[in-house]
Amino acid sequence: MAKNEKKILNWDDFQALGNPDNAPEEPKAENTNVDYHAQVRIHLEKKHRGGKEVAIIRGLPLEEDELKNLAKEIKVKCGVGGSSKDGEIIIQGNMRDKILEILKQKGFKNTKYSGG
């Protein structure tokens, strides 16, 4: 179909669009055991880091491999380095605003800033 052409529906197809029985099934979430209402906190720390700031994400209810994947995604979107260990994600620099947006888009609704 060309870019400017409009698709014309007959009456039966039009009625089928509004019928909820014909609606496509919702894709199921990949990980159904994740508690998206957990208290996730984003801390800002400078101690023992030579005066450099890092954002530490605590309280994520994820397994170690899921935590590493989320850390990688956050690092790529923020364009900085970091790591994940001991149930925490450490992101270099004060990237708390971007991290908060990423986590909210991922479905972690109870995410807030904490500390400095």
Is 8 a domain residue? no
Is 63 a domain residue? yes
Angle separating helix axes 64-78 and 96-106, nearest 10 degrees: 130
CA 20 to chain centre: 30
Is 13 a domain residue? no
Is 87 a domain residue? yes
Structural domain count of the chain: 1
Question: Residue 43 is part of which domain span?
Answer: 34-114
Cα gap 33→62, rounded to integer Å: 9
pLDDT in tens, 32-48: 567 778 899 999 998 88
Strand ranges across the sheet with 54-58 = 82-85, 88-92, 54-58, 40-45, 111-114
At a CB cut-off of 8 Å and minimum separation 6, what does 73 contact?
A: 102
**Which CATH number covers residue 76?**
3.30.780.10
Is 104 a domain residue? yes
pLDDT band with cut points at 50, 70 and 90 for residue 25: low
Is 51 a domain residue? yes
Is 28 a domain residue? no
